[in-house]
Amino acid sequence: MTNPIARLLLALGIVLVVLALAWQFLPWRPGRLPGDLSWGKGNVRVFLPCGTSVLLSVLLTLVLWLVSRFGR
């Protein structure tokens, strides 16, 4: 049986590679996803990152699921 820390580091490395590729090749950047709300008037600007929050929630759920599944 392999070391659980090694599996965790491997999973985190894969996630980082996927995020790096997404950062390079997708037309949008985090913080400007569809579903993010932004409006302003005068000197006041309000930004609600709804789409970004959903994406981060899904990614963190996947990472934590992988850690709990393979980190045993």
Q: What is the pLDDT of residues 12-35, one digit of tens each?
A: 888 888 888 877 777 766 556 788
Q: What is the pLDDT of residue 16?
A: 87
Q: 18: exposed, middle or buried (C-beta count within 10 Å: 0-12, 13-18, 19+)?
A: exposed
Task: Examine the pLDDT at 62 and tell me if it is beyond 90.
Answer: no
Residue 43 confidence class, pLDDT cut points 50, 70, 90: very high
pTM of the model: 0.52
Q: What is the pLDDT of residue 29?
A: 60
Domain extent for 43: 4-70
Overall domain count for the chain: 1
What average pLDDT does the segment 38-59 reach? 87
Q: Which of 71, 66, 61 is nearest to 14 (CA)?
A: 66
What average pLDDT does the segment 49-67 reach? 85
